[in-house]
Structure 1
Amino acid sequence: MNTENPSETTPLLNPPPEYEPESEILYPNVDASDSNTAVSEDPSTLYVWVLMIGPFLSAFVASIDSSMIATLSSPITSSFGSLSHLPWLASAYFIANAAIQPLSGKLTDIYGRRSGLVLSNIVFSLGNYMCATAQSEWVLIAGRVVAGLGGGGVMAVATFLLSDLVPLRERGMWQGIGNMILGVGSGIGGVLGGWINDSLDWRAAFLLQIPITILATIWTWFTIRIPAVDDGEGKSKLKRIDYLGSISLFTTLVTLLLGMSAGGNTVSWTDPIVLISLPLSSVSFIIFIFAELKYATEPIIPLPLLYDISVAGGCLTNAFSSASRFAMIFYLPLFLEAQGYTATQIGLRLIPGSIGTAIASMVAGIIVKSTGRDFTNLV
């Protein structure tokens, strides 16, 4: 109620507070008109598509690469005559993929989305070239690590770029399109990998990704012109990087996945690798929490966002759904191979899951756009 010098014409209720844009809440020091945070006016659909063709194509190829190994694992291990390092063919990629994504957001905030996408594509192509030409298991695994770094950067930066381009109301629909592309890519990756292996060999499956990635890189270089948030130079940019948070998070993910992947597979659960990596992961995680809450001026992951039930629910939902989905992608092929199916036949049996992912992503995006709420989709 208004209490300052009331009169017979004074309204009984105060006017509602001015709306504070999301960008001002999360990034109070960033000009809302900056083109790197979001465009000031609603961009046309054609404009968004022109800019996103390259990033979407890169992310599509990266998603194919992430699941293609499911049907290539057996041919690869047969080629090298060893099964001892089979779990690392997939784990190496996803360890690197998960570790690079948080850091890629902050780096591309500083140096620009275009530079991040181009560099990620180059790293991704280099990793696939290492896999295609590998003459030993360890070189192949190293190639999967390099490809994972590039693929993780591509997927993350493509998502960040999409958030820069479209307003919050439209973001759900466009993210649905992006998730559909990723879902289709991961679904057909097994089919393509199996078909290429049966038609040519497993090395060709890695090699054929490179020219497509090069085309996406060229398109990205000539179409994206979104500047970085920080127009400073040298040390002013480097000071914005959350080094402690980045290193501790990277260590947490690598050691956790290392211990979980090695334990019970390549080594026993009482092996020193497991006994060291899992406790180290816990310690690194505690350091990461401290760094993000108390130390970092610009944390790579703003943990207070998790206080929002929608954000926390979305993260948990994505974690559990991804765990079940990737368990199916990587363990079902081993079972089907034991039943006598070819690599192509195995890949075809993985398609229904990707179809469901694609449909659900689009439907969820449409619901968010039409209702402006995301809780319905989580339910």
Structure 2
Amino acid sequence: MSASSDSNEKVPLSAKLLRSATTTTWTAENGLNYSPLRFGLLFIGLALVVFLAALDQTIVAVAIPSIVTDFQTFSGLSWIGTAYFLASTPLIPTWGKLADIFGRRPVFIGGIVLFEAGSLICGLARSMPVLIIGRAISGLGAGGMFPMVVIIISDVVALRDRPKYQGIIGAVIGVASVAGPLMGGVFTDKLSWRWCFFINLPFGALTIVIAILFLNLPSPKGNLRDKLSQIDALGTFWMAAATVLLVYSLSAGGGDFSWGSPLIISILVLAVICAIVFAVVEARYVQHPLISKELWGNRYVVAVWMSSFFLGMTFFSLTYYIPIYFQVVNGNTATEAGVHTIPFILSLGLVGVFTGIAISATGYTAPFVSAGAGVLMVGAGLISTMSATSGPGMQIGYLVVAGFGVGLNVQTINLNGQGVVEPHLLAVMISSFTFFQVLGAVFGIAINGTILSNSLTYKLESVLPSATLIDFVKNNPSKIRAAVASGSIPVVLLDPITTAYTDSLSLIFKTTVATAGALFLASFLLKRNRLQKKVEGETDVMVPDA
């Protein structure tokens, strides 16, 4: 980093600082020079995008009761979330491929525009079908927003420095996870549920302006026809078909339909067939495959995919089901239960930032994954012991331990993957990492949802007198104590109901111990060398220690 020399004339200190901030430069991975001010503004824009994408996944849940009341219909209610995931998940790898073909800036801005358009449609919707369409469009854009942020960071920051910035991005996700329910509750109670979607518009517009002004990355050469010919339309179709069928079957199975129903079985079989066709097409018939053969043939990349999948199963299962514990035991609303998860999220965010600093200093990634998985196993095991008698100290302490384990992993696995591929494969590697993590989340939430439903039904049938009461207790965890207070549920049944819930949730948290254990084992398949600091004229990659 070289500072520009000041002239001999007297210059105000403020002017000197401004000139220093705008003229001091370093060379980024893309070969361009960035001043600290320009990079800072760009990074703020990237963080805003991540905040919006993460916020949108939590803020809407709080608004759902008001949406149902406003539209006077339960029809299509589950599709508010399902449409978002069905649209966002299948095309995540495609976003990385498009970024290589058309360049980072247009693809990044395109994802934000789609997300913003969907948010506007949702905010203006006058019917449930229109709202669902808007959610699908938002999901389509959001599927590219997070991987594109990481891809851009990998372009403008040297490999050994990336952990620090990606750690901050992880902390932003944690803040959004806490802020979402709180903001959703305030908007719904004080303004309108529509502001849960309108809030995205000004911030999204700001990020687009920042991208236009400061995201000065070189565009790939070639005319439009050549670029279009590189799009793997066939592979994208079969990948999307397999993913949509799989995600839908996992979302509907055990809930809307039993796992043994002909419909769910048929959809799962079709998903497997589409996945096989995708593999055959990619291996034999596509000139520019969606996921490069170099990645499939790299055992360290496959280890990254496995690790990201198990981390997704563990982390999202904890995030999804821990609030239910607080709703039942404390009688909290969904928003209040979200507040009780702050120790988990705060621990995750802080440890993620410090882990990034430690990786930048040492160059090691795999040991942090192994250590994080071990701590996560302990944290999940402790959480599985929580009952109605667990005090605040135990609740906070156990959540902090689990958050510590996730924080050690939240960006580390991705960084390990970045260190084992050549620069031209970075975008696809990063997007495929995100894809497997989201897929793990879908698997984890679906499988554990079935475990909770079956266990809870079995236990409640032995203590509750009617199927109607069982359905109420299963579907309204935050209203159980209010129902007891009003006399709708006899007070004598409160302890058996709470015990049934905590015992069933304990089974879920024990499965997260198992998936964290799978992550621990997969971590030893990762590349275990250091991220070498860049030497002039050399590619910044993971290399063996001297």
- Equivalent position amino acid for 1:164 in 2: D
2:29 to 38, 48, 51: 38
Which residue of 1 is the match for residue 254 of structure 2?
264
Are 1:234 and 2:227 counterparts? Answer: no
1:111 alignment counterpart: 102
Structure 1 residue aligned with 2:209: 218
Does 2:348 correspond to 1:357? yes
Q: What is the aligned counterpart of 1:202 among 170, 190, 193?
A: 193
Q: Please state if 1:168 is matched with 2:142.
A: no
SS of residue in 2 equivalent to 1:120: helix
Aligned residues, how many? 342
Equivalent residues of 1:71, 1:333 under 8 A apart: no
Q: Please show how residues 286-301 of structure 1 align to structure 2 within 5 Å.
A: 286-301=276-291
268 and 296 in structure 1: CA distance in 2 versus 1, 3 angstrom threshold: same
2:134 paired with 1:143:
yes
C-alpha change, 1:337 and 1:196, in structure 2 (3 Å) is farther
Q: CA deviation at 1:73?
A: 3.0
Partners of 2:122 and 2:194 within 8 A in 1: yes
One-letter amino acid matched to 2:235: G
Choose the corresponding residue for 1:280, options 261, 264, 270. 270
Decide whether the 8 Å contact of 2:326 with 2:340 is kept in 1.
no
CA distance in 2: counterparts of 1:299 and 1:99, whole angstroms: 15
Shift of 1:78: 4.0
Match of 1:325 among 315, 334, 341: 315
Q: Does 2:171 correspond to 1:177?
A: no
Residue 12 of structure 1 is matched in structure 2 by none
Q: Which is bigger in relative contact order (C-alpha 8 A, separation at least 6)?
A: 1
SS at match of 1:296: coil
SS of the residue corresponding to residue 143 of structure 2 reads helix
Say if 1:38 and 1:163, in contact at 8 Å, map to a contact too. yes
Distance 2:32 2:360 in 1: 17
Q: Given residue 131 of structure 1, which amino acid in structure 2 is its aligned partner? A: C
User: Structure 1 residues 337, 143: CA separation in 2 closer, same or farther (over 3 Å shift)?
Assistant: farther
Q: Following superposition of structure 1 onto structure 2, how do residues 31-110 of structure 1 map, counting pairs within 5 Å?
A: 38-40=29-31, 45-83=36-74, 85-110=76-101
1:357–1:85 Cα change, 3 Å: farther
Please show how residues 6-45 of structure 1 align to structure 2 within 5 Å.
38-40=29-31, 45=36
**Deviation, structure 1 residue 84:** 5.6
CA–CA separation in structure 2 for the residues paired with 1:184 and 1:316: 27
| 1:244-280 deviation digits (Å, cap 9, x = unpaired) | 2211111111110011111222233355542332111
Q: Given residue 48 of structure 2, which amino acid in structure 1 is its aligned partner?
A: L
- TM (norm. structure 1) is 0.81
Bigger Rg, which one: 2
**Contact preservation (8 Å) 2:235, 2:281:** yes
Q: Which runs of 5+ in 1 are unaligned?
A: 1-36
| Structure-2 residue corresponding to 1:245 | 235
SS of 1:99's equivalent in the other structure is coil
Native 8 Å contact 1:130 1:140 kept in 2? yes
Question: Match for 1:327: what amino acid?
Answer: S
Any runs of at least 4 consecutive aligned residues in structure 1 with deviations exceeding 6 A, and if so which? none
CA distance in 1, matches of 2:66, 2:293: 43
Q: Retained in 1: the 8 A contact 2:38–2:214?
A: no
- How far apart, in 1, do the equivalents of 2:338 and 2:139 lie? 21
Contact 2:60 2:196 in 1 (8 A): no
CA distance in structure 2 between the partners assigned to 1:112 and 1:175 by the alignment: 21
User: Aligned in 2, Cα 1:49/1:113: closer, same or farther, shift over 3 Å?
Assistant: same
Taking a change above 3 Å as real, the CA distance of residues 112 and 342 of structure 1, as seen in their structure-2 partners, is same
Tell me the secondary structure at the aligned position of residue 202 of structure 1.
Answer: coil
For the Cα contact (< 8 Å) 1:58–1:213, is it kept in 2? yes
Q: CA deviation at 1:145?
A: 0.9
**Deviation readout 1:205-250 (Å, 9 max, x if unpaired):** 1112211111111121122121222x11122111111222211111
| Partner AA of 1:128 in structure 2 | S
Residues 32-60 of structure 1 deviation map (CA, whole Å, 9 limit, x = unaligned): xxxxx932488665443232322221221
Q: Matched residues in 2 for 1:368 and 1:297: separation?
A: 37
2:143 is matched with which residue? 152
Identity over aligned pairs, percent: 31
Larger CA deviation: 61-70 vs 329-338 = 329-338
Call closer, same or farther: CA 1:238–1:315 in 2, change over 3 Å.
Answer: same
Deviations along 1:317-359, whole A, 9 cap, x unmatched? 3323323333344445566566653454233223333223312
What is the DSSP-based 3-state SS (H/G/I as helix, E as strand, rest coil) of the residue aligned with 1:241?
Answer: coil
> What is the Cα deviation at residue 122 of structure 1?
1.4
Question: Residue type matched to 1:301 in 2?
Answer: I
How far is the alpha carbon of 1:81 from its aligned partner? Answer: 4.3
Distance 1:286 1:81 in 2: 43
User: How big is the alpha-carbon RMSD for the aligned residues of Structure 1 and Structure 2?
Assistant: 2.6
Q: Quick one: distance in 2 between partners of 1:198 and 1:328?
A: 28
The amino acid across from 1:65 in the alignment is: D
Residues 318, 167 of structure 1: alpha-carbon distance in 2 compared, 3 angstrom cutoff? same
